Amino acid sequence: NFILFSLRSLSYVKMLALQIYNLHRSPYFWDSPNEFEPERFTVPKKDENIEGWAGFDPDRSPGAMYPNEIIADFAFLPFGGGPRKCVGDQFALLESTVALALLLQKFDVELRGSPDEVEMVTGATIHTKNGLWCRLRKRT
């Protein structure tokens, strides 16, 4: 609401920084926002209490490779949105799927330590503090 208010009323705004991490974990838009629940992206969601938000609707972009900003009405935008949206979104998804499939065909992967020990560092991008140490076992 603050962002919508700012955009409407402050015509002199030259740069607007959006906290995408917070947007993607906002309890206003998402139920259990910190849980890994990819199936949430198959279900339409409408919240009448959020003024100006058209809700989450997979039917808005049939055949989309991922829950994009059109489906989420800009509440979920991993590759940005609008005229300067990432041009490599579909390539990135295909490439990472192929890379993961090739790896998992050959190895079983097990996290070393507990997930709670994997700390996060934010900067231009978000990454792990000390890497994501895993044990690989060659599959027989």
Helix (H) or strand (E) holding 42: none
14, 84, 138, 139: residue in contact with ligand HEM (rule CB under 6 A):
84
Stretch that binds ligand HEM, among 10-18, 47-55, 73-81, 97-105 (CB under 6 A): 73-81
User: CA-based angle 55:93:41, to the nearest 5?
Assistant: 25
Close Cβ partners of 110 (under 8 Å, ≥ 6 residues apart): 134, 135, 137
Token duo for residue 117: 């020990």
Helix and strand element counts for the chain (H, E): 3, 4
Q: Is residue 92 within the footprint of ligand HEM (CB under 6 A)?
A: yes
Whose Cβ is closer to ligand HEM: residue 85's or residue 129's?
85
Helix (H) or strand (E) holding 121: strand 120-122
In the complex, least distance from residue 105 CB atom to ligand HEM, rounded to whole angstroms: 21
Whose Cβ is closer to ligand HEM: residue 20's or residue 109's?
20
24, 81, 107, 118: residue in contact with ligand HEM (rule CB under 6 A):
81
Stretch that binds ligand HEM, among 5-13, 31-39, 85-93, 110-118 (CB under 6 A): 85-93
CA-nearest of 60, 85, 87 to 72 is 60
85, 112, 135, 137: residue in contact with ligand HEM (rule CB under 6 A):
85
**% helix, strand, coil for the chain, step of 5:** 30, 15, 55
Stretch that binds ligand HEM, among 24-32, 84-92, 97-105, 109-117 (CB under 6 A): 84-92
Binding site for ligand HEM (CB under 6 A): 78-82, 84-88, 91-92
